[in-house]
Amino acid sequence: MKPEILKQLRKITPDSGYSARAKEHILMSAPLPAQSGRLRSFAAFFSEHKLRVAMIAMVLVLFVGGFSVIQLLNPFKASPLDPSRLKVEAQAIDIQLQIANVGYEAPANGPESTQAMSRPSRVSRSSAKSGAANTAATSSPDVGIDEALDLLSQ
């Protein structure tokens, strides 16, 4: 293939009428202000890596959006109840019921009962501890759960 034939392609030129009209139309517009160095480099980077920037942005949106959805679906977050506070309150109820059981299991005699009240026996103490697991199911005739909750609220 001869290079001269390619050089003949230089004879391809635009229509003169079109050129004049196009030039006039272009020069009627005002050029944009110069971009700062950082902005220009950012714009150049963005224009060269459009697809990558778009994909990274999409991943970030999905990640943040998914994280937000998880937070919304969290029942503890949705409800006004605080699990740690509930745990503390439950432990307090347990202690109150143990004290109530100790009082209930104390003997009817005066000094023994007094002594029993002041110094709960190991048997009664252990029975109170073993009874702790059943406090939810059984209630003391002296102090019920409702009363215990009332005491706690005070």
CA atoms of 124 and 3, how far apart (whole Å): 112
CB of 60 to other proteins, least distance (A): 26
SS3 category, 87: helix
CA atoms of 92 and 100, how far apart (whole Å): 12
Does residue 123 touch other proteins according to CB under 8 A? Answer: no
Does residue 51 touch other proteins according to CB under 8 A? Answer: no
Does residue 22 touch other proteins according to CB under 8 A? Answer: yes
Does residue 29 touch other proteins according to CB under 8 A? Answer: yes
CA atoms of 99 and 118, how far apart (whole Å): 12
Q: Between 3 and 80, whose beta carbon lies closer to other proteins? A: 3
Q: Which residue has the tokens 């019920």?
A: 144
Does residue 137 touch other proteins according to CB under 8 A? Answer: no
Q: Between 22 and 95, whose beta carbon lies closer to other proteins? A: 22
Position among 40, 49, 119, 129 found at the interface with other proteins (CB under 8 A): 40
Does residue 33 touch other proteins according to CB under 8 A? Answer: yes
CB 129 within 8 A of CB 101: no
Considering only the stretches 3-11, 67-75, 89-97, 114-122, report the one whose residues sit in contact with other proteins under the rule CB under 8 A.
3-11
The phi and psi torsions of 52 (rounded to 5 degrees) equal: -65, -45
CA atoms of 120 and 41, how far apart (whole Å): 81
Pair of tokens at residue 95 = 């202690």
CB of 46 to other proteins, least distance (A): 14
Side-chain-side CA neighbours of residue 42 (13 Å): 5
Does residue 19 touch other proteins according to CB under 8 A? Answer: yes
Site of interaction with other proteins (CB under 8 A):
1, 3, 5-15, 18-19, 22-23, 25-27, 29-35, 40
